[in-house]
Amino acid sequence: MPAPKNSIRRSLLVTSAIVLSTALTAPAAFAAPSPSAGSSSKPSAGSSADSSATVSADPPKTPSKKPKDSKNSKGSKAAPPAKMSTVGGARLGRAGTQVNLASGVPVLPKGLSARSWIVADAESGEVLAAHNAHWELAPASTLKMLFADTLLPKWPSSTEHEVEPSDLAGIGSGSSMVGIKEDETYTVHDLWLGVFLRSGNDAVRVLAAMNGGVENTVAEMNEHAEELQALDTVVVSPDGYDAEGQVSSAYDLTLIARSGLQKKDFREYASTVRADFPGETRKNKKGKKVRESFEIQNTNRLLSGDYDIPVYQGIAGVKNGNTTEAGATFTGVAEQDGRVLLVTVMNPEKKEGNQVYKETAKLFDWGFEAAGKVDPVGELVPPRSAAQAGARPGGAGASPGEAGGTGEGALGAADGRPVASAAAGGGAGGVGTALAVTGGVLVLLAGGAFLVNRRWPLPDLVRRRPRP
């Protein structure tokens, strides 16, 4: 059986990259291009296959970031609109399931009930299959990925902040909370753990207050979404709490996750299974003030497991959500046998326990089996700045790889060997990460791989082994 065309092309490019690298007298440094600019424990109170060839996307129009007509964003709407965005390819703008089924390509899993979903290769950006990819739906706490991708570079993780009453104003009824207390001091690291693990709207509000307030934060998030070409996305509330006109799409959430995963801190928080979180300061029996702590666990059930669903082999994040308007939403990233996939699932019609994770796991299984065999139906587009710089040798400048903007190179060791990571320390978090729980390692891509994957690849990949 002849090798797939994509594999042949990739092999030739890898060979070319190796020849080029050995011919150079000095090592070249590459970095991921820089963008310019969740889950609720309780639902909030407010809140056909086509095998034709892939067609290039029409040039996207710059949207007006005003709340859209709520009639188009209601989670109760039964069918997707006839016309949707074509960013990433014309087929992604069509209603229904888009996949190129052919000899050797596995059929899609049975029992998928989500209103929208997408399976994409995180490195190449190829969309392997999709269903109503650009349907604008309420995103719930998956929107916190955009919040994190926008604000993570603002402060070093060790920055401390004493919480004022005004910081916690405006939190919606029934919101998921991590348990932040007024007049207590938290590090930025603590607050991000609260955002990613417990999907704490209280943690989001404190960070937004540190960023000049909710209104400013929402404006920055909308600006960053536009830079990422996530043009289905309109932010009204930074925490993803149901709000009039607030929408995103499976396509956009996948773009946002891919962008966030460029950042070291984002990857750490997204892959953390459990951590100690600061509690209240009390006086002990001797009258001395002591700060208590309590354990928090990630509500991403493919990462932490549950009574009816095991930890998914290779899972490394990303973010879940659940509100009245959105139903259950989830974006995940996983690696198996050197292949890294992103899957987003929005609002399964089946209301069984953990249904969003079960459908995600099915799509991951299909994607890993189909990868290298199925022709893509579209692509994840790069950010505007990366697309503009893509023609230049070496691409754009370095991305702010971690909080504080210190940056992280796209490559690993000079000889291309994997570089193992350690669990991050400091503050109350950094313990109980998936790295420690599963014994996984953090691997950096070598320069040759970066040359092959020109569509804004991940600078490094979190790899997983099944838990013992």
CA geometry: angle 259, 260, 262, nearest 5 deg: 70
Please tell me which residue in 141, 157, 176, 304 is annotated as part of the active site.
Answer: 141
pLDDT for the residue 162: 97
Does residue 31 surpass a pLDDT of 70? Answer: no
Each residue's pLDDT tens digit, 33-54? 333 333 333 344 343 333 333 3
On average, the pLDDT of the chain sits at: 77
| Active-site option among 65, 68, 144, 362 | 144
What is the pTM (predicted TM-score) of this model?
0.75
176 is catalytic: no
Measured between alpha carbons, how far is residue 376 from residues 3, 217, 237 in Å? 16, 35, 34
Whether 399 contacts 262, CB under 8 Å: yes
Q: Which residue has the tokens 């709490």?
A: 241
Q: First CA to last CA across the chain, in angstroms?
A: 37
Residue 446 has pLDDT above 90, yes or no: no
pLDDT digits (tens, 9 = 90+) for 193-248: 999 999 999 999 999 999 999 999 999 999 999 999 999 999 999 999 999 999 99
Give the amino acid at 78.
A
187 has a pLDDT exceeding 60: yes
Q: Are 230 and 427 in contact (CB under 8 A)?
A: no
Q: What is the pLDDT of residue 391?
A: 52
Active site residue 141: yes
Using one digit for the tens of pLDDT, what is the confidence trace for 340-393? 999 999 999 998 889 999 999 999 999 999 999 999 999 999 999 887 776 555
CA–CA gap between residue 273 and residue 265 (Å, rounded): 14
pLDDT at 143: 98
Is the Cβ–Cβ distance between 162 and 183 less than 8 Å?
yes
* Selected catalytic residue, list 47, 175, 199, 248: 199
Among residues of the chain, what percentage have pLDDT more than 70?
67
Q: How confident is the model at residue 444 (pLDDT cuts 50, 70, 90)?
A: very low
Q: Which residues contact 452 (CB under 8 A, 6 or more apart)?
A: 10, 13, 14, 17
**What is the arithmetic mean of pLDDT over 325-339?**
95
Q: Is 175 annotated in the active site?
A: no
- Average pLDDT rounded to a whole number, residues 24-41: 35
pLDDT higher than threshold 50 for residue 405: no
Gap between the Cα atoms of 180 and 191, Å rounded? 9
pLDDT in tens, 71-99: 444 444 579 998 999 999 999 999 999 99
Which residues lie below 8 Å from residue 210, measured CB to CB, with a gap of 6+? 154, 155, 161
Please write the tens of the pLDDT for every residue from 266-320: 999 999 999 999 999 988 888 888 999 999 999 999 999 999 999 999 999 999 9
